[in-house]
Amino acid sequence: MLTDTDRWDSYLKRDDDIFVCTLGKNGTTWMQAICALLIFQKPELDFNPAERSPWFDVTLEPLEEVVSALEAQTERRVIKTHTPLDGIPFHDSCTYITVYRDPRDAFLSMRNHMDNFKLIKLDLPVAEPDEGFRLFVEASYESGGLPMGLEAAVAHYDSYWNYRHLPNIHFFHYADLKRDLRGEMGRVARALEIEIDEDLLSRLAEAASFENMKSKATQFIPGAKRDAWHDPVRFLHKGTSGQWKDVLTPETLAAFETKLAELLPPDRAKWLKQGRG
């Protein structure tokens, strides 16, 4: 198993901990960087934010090393997980930042990610993205299905959405970050209760831009210094919304819309695809 929720039994809470809770390729590394830039309040960091905020429940890293590294941190901590809310610790004093992305774009980004990963061979289910996406849409969450099937993605989304009324759960969308990074970083700062100068916020937003992060891959990409990727720069692939338009057929897109309508009401399906728009 890639993840093991039993590892959370070893988590030692601090009241101001921040959880970055996402699906894979939904902006995880981006939000980790945003949080680190806001916490340390300087555009140039002397550490890799993705390495400093570990994926706690992944089995690729020895648990003792993850716990030890977190305990050694003196600044506010950021912890990554791809697990639904019912599978991680929940504490009123901690902050939970969720990020979602159009499942069509996330799927294509995940294909690139799987092909680029060196440490573990992750075979693509099919060679053609259109057929692969149809399998993604059809995969059954209850029977296991594909790890990133649409039903599984919506179940993750539901697990946080159902508690969105709580003051420490905050929703962000990849498309909104692309449209207005500075404004969304201001929202993150408010969620984290961090006061920040407007001029500094602008400079931090420049540091968190896709272009800057891609140009400094070893500074921002998890595993870049451990030779985890065939090409670290490729980890940050296109960073765009709507890339599926030139890849998926009308028939497959129609199947996606039909399935999504079965899983979510129109307003929530619309937000999942495009954020606030």
pLDDT at 240: 65
Q: Of 114 and 195, which is predicted with more confidence?
A: 195
pLDDT at 212: 87
Q: Which of 220, 270, 249 is nearest to 51 (CA)?
A: 220
pLDDT confidence tier of residue 219, bands split at 50, 70 and 90: confident
- Does the pLDDT value for residue 158 go beyond 90? yes
Over the stretch 240-260, which tens digit does the pLDDT of each residue have?
Answer: 678 888 889 999 999 999 999
Residue closest to 235 by CA, chosen among 251, 264, 213, 259: 213
- Which residue out of 82, 156, 173, 237 is catalytically annotated? 82
34 — pLDDT class (breaks 50, 70, 90): very high
Question: Is 82 assigned a catalytic role?
Answer: yes
* Domain covering 5-274 assigned CATH 3.40.50.300 in the classification: yes
Cα-based angle 220, 226, 228 (whole degrees, multiple of 5) = 80
Judge contact between 51 and 59, C-beta under 8 A.
Answer: no
Distance CA 85, CA 95 (A): 12
Higher-pLDDT residue of 126, 199:
199
User: Out of 49-53, 213-217, 225-229, which region has the weakest mean confidence (pLDDT)?
Assistant: 225-229
Where residue 77 falls among pLDDT bands split at 50, 70, 90? very high
* The pLDDT value given to residue 98: 98
157-177: average pLDDT:
97
The domain spans of the chain are 5-274
pLDDT at residue 230 above 60? no
pLDDT at 112 over 70: no
- pLDDT confidence bin for 268, thresholds 50/70/90: very high
pTM (global) more than 0.85:
yes
